[in-house]
Amino acid sequence: MRRSFRYCIALSLASFNLFGQSDTLRRVPTSAIPFLTTAPDARSAAMGEAGVALSADVNAAYWNASKLPYAERDFGATVSYTPWLRNLVDDMWLGYASAYKKLGKGQAVAASVNYFKHMGIDGLYTQSSNTDIALNGTYARQLGRNFSMGVTLKYISSGVGTGVLMNGQQVKPGRMLAGDISAYYRKQIKNENSPGDFTWSLGAVLSNFGNKINYGPAYGDRFIPTTLKIGGGLSYSADGKNRFNFVMDAGKLLTPTPKHGINVNAKPVLKGMLESFSDAPDGFNEEIQEIALSLGAEYWYKSVVALRAGYHNENKNKGDRRYVTAGAGLRLLKNYGVDFARLFPVKRGDPFSNTFRISLSAYFGKAGS
């Protein structure tokens, strides 16, 4: 039993890239604390994990904080739950909680927490340090009628690997500060002769920007998952009852491309980030392969029932995470919501098979405020 548990953990570490180990043949850029890049909520997860330019909701604090001033209600809160690698283990999971408050016209603040619970096995992990957590504080403000920006400050604590012996020394917990900066442009065109409207939006986010995280002399410094995402969205309703939303995100991890025999983590942070756009050994074609694409669609009926679908794609040489997503949402008594998402990998035997997410939310205050 212990051997099977260790096998599951080893496989989960490889799948999740917990320590940034790379397949040098495929040269996959990786980082420490990758749980920060995992879609936490069921709405965007059901839309191919796209959310940078999606209409604002309480999960905007994660996807693009600058959307928060455009949220329809004055206050919102949510909790989300994702069992992790449930085909392999039964006590690993990710949690997310977030709440926002609009401060009059054009401003909003938010607080959120990302949580990753992983297994604690004697001889591999200590039982007291088997969690990763990020505590986040956000401020967003409109800088024009259609444009806004947001900033987020994060405190991150990573216990993954604590107690593992490397070169005769134990890996220590890593703790650090990081941040996000985001921008959002939204243009709505209303039909004066009907309740319909058309909205297009653009968004950009530089997330998890900060120094390297340090796990002590045993493992040293590691790049964190600094990521640049750019997204676009379209929203259309002809009658005010039926609404269609379409979104697309393109994202790139700003960490060095691995090279055989070279410790890329030795690079300075800014140098590593800037060179991540041009350091692939095979040049431009390989750099393009490092961009992941997410596509999603959503249908709402009377803002009560939602159906969603999407697709997430990574190049086969750069992670090869490819899956179809689907989900649904329901709004109850105008103030409460439940959303569900399911992931369907393209490859057989994918460790992320049977991954699902569920989110509960509540909104209060005037609609359209």
62: three-class secondary structure by DSSP: helix
pLDDT of residue 125: 41
| 65 phi and psi angles, rounded to 5 deg | -60, -25
Among positive and negative, which fits the CA dihedral 235, 237, 240, 243? negative
Kindly report the number of other CB atoms within 10 A of residue 84's CB atom.
21
pLDDT of residue 368: 55
Model confidence over 7-37: pLDDT tens digits? Answer: 334 334 433 443 344 443 468 998 999 999 9
pLDDT of residue 163: 67
Q: What is the DSSP string of 85-129?
A: STTT-SS-EEEEEEEEEE-STTEEEEEEEEEEE----TTTS-TT-
Amino acid letter, 219: Y
DSSP-derived letter for residue 67 is: G
Strand ranges, E, within 143-173: 147-158, 165-166, 169-170
pLDDT of residue 18: 38
pLDDT of residue 196: 87
**CA–CA separation, 16 and 32 (whole Å):** 10
CB 269 within 8 A of CB 263: no
Tokens of 160: 């993954």
CB 217 within 8 A of CB 171: no
**CA–CA separation, 92 and 9 (whole Å):** 10
pLDDT of residue 265: 87
CB 357 within 8 A of CB 82: yes
pLDDT of residue 216: 82
What CATH number has the domain spanning 2-364?
A: 2.40.160.40
pLDDT of residue 119: 63
| Residue among 173, 163, 156, 259 at smallest CA distance from 208 | 156
Instruction: Provide the CA 65 distance to its chain's centre, in angstroms.
Output: 12
Chunked mean pLDDT (size 10), the chain, 369 residues: 38 40 64 93 98 96 97 96 83 94 93 85 46 96 96 92 71 91 96 87 97 85 95 95 97 93 88 93 93 98 97 93 96 95 90 91 80
Tokens of 86: 């449930």
Instruction: State the distance between the two ends of the chain, measured CA to CA, in whole angstroms.
Output: 56
pLDDT of residue 123: 36
Tell which phi-psi region holds residue 147, choosing left (phi > 0), alpha (psi between -120 and 50) or beta.
beta
